[in-house]
Amino acid sequence: MELIVLGSGTSVFHPHRAAAGFWLQTNAGSILLDCSADAPHRMAEENLDWINLDAIWISHLHLDHCAGLAPFLFGIKWAKGNGNRRQPLKIFGCQGIEKLLKAIDECHRYQLFEQPLTIEIHEINPSDKVGSFDLLPGLQVETVSTPHRAESLAIRLTDSDGLMLVYTSDTGYSEDIAQFARNADLLILECSFYRNKPTLKHLELADAMRIAQIAQPKELLLTHLYSEWDGIDLELEARKLWPGKTTAARDGRRLNIKRTG
């Protein structure tokens, strides 16, 4: 698997950090994890094959995680070469995605769903005990509710080689989330604040490192960074609290996820 950070930032604009989006290349296909308003442009900027993107995961309905979805569908509708793809575009994630897209669609008759490609939407009820299912053939997925919004979900993806990636998206502190992420090859965890967080619905560094302590991922990628992180050596601060490998997300960073040891 390869992960490309499209946006390491938040809903508050930052000169070097776009809002949430991660391109994940797997042996089963490509997946966009969250689609902020910045994400479609960032995919083009990174020269990614967005026209053949296989699936999109939306963790929750805060606009820094989903506001690029309608523009992405509108862009792909008018893109050259869109008729060459044979596979559907699968949109997976929280409840409310379809309602949001239809509301935008209807207010100006954008005809977002009238495409040369098929669009499939699968919404997951956070209270359902969801077993594992295949997001793409051979790519297994499980989800769990996070203490952030009623609809918000974390996702765990396991490919056919057994490589495991967990993306929490926005979350408050939760031991359930830490257990869900146990032994991940890569854990993408939010770390909105350095300290003195103003809300229980996000993490600060000490919370994130408590989760890492329990989860023991092979690598931890901290993201969703507000500007209060500017000028702070996040990786150095993280190492003081957990000895494992912590990487600070920055836009354009590419991580190779492979079996170690």
State in angstroms the smallest separation of the CB of 38 from Zn ion.
12
Tell me the C-alpha distance between 157 and 132, whole Å.
9
- In the sheet where 133-136 sits, what is the strand order? 133-136, 139-145, 153-158, 164-167, 186-190, 220-223, 246-248
Looking at the Cβ atoms of 163 and 180, the one nearer to Zn ion is 180
Asked if 90 and 136 count as a contact pair (C-beta separation under 8 A), the reply is yes
- Whose structure tokens read 């938040």? 10
**At closest approach, how far in Å is the CB of 170 from Zn ion?**
4
Residues that bind Zn ion (CB under 5 A): 62, 64, 170
CA-wise closest residue to 170 among 141, 218, 121, 207: 207
Q: Which one, 202 or 218, has the nearer CB to Zn ion?
A: 202
Dihedral Cα 236, 237, 241, 243, nearest 10 deg: -10
Count of positions (residues) in the chain: 261
For Zn ion, which is the closer residue by CB, 25 or 36?
36
Residue 253: CB minimum distance to Zn ion, A: 18
Q: How far is the CB of 36 from Zn ion (least distance, A)?
A: 8
Is the CB of residue 36 less than 8 Å from the CB of residue 61? no
Nearer of residues 54 and 170 to Zn ion, judged by Cβ: 170
Residue with tokens 């939407």: 121
Distance (Å, whole) CA 167 – CA 189: 6
Least distance between Zn ion and beta carbon 60 (Å): 6
CB 245 within 8 A of CB 235: no
Q: Which is nearer to Zn ion, 42 or 62 (CB)?
A: 62
User: Which tokens go with 137?
Assistant: 């053939």
CA-based torsion, 30, 63, 19, 163: positive or negative = negative
Minimum Å distance from CB 19 to Zn ion?
7
Q: Cβ closer to Zn ion: 27 or 199?
A: 199
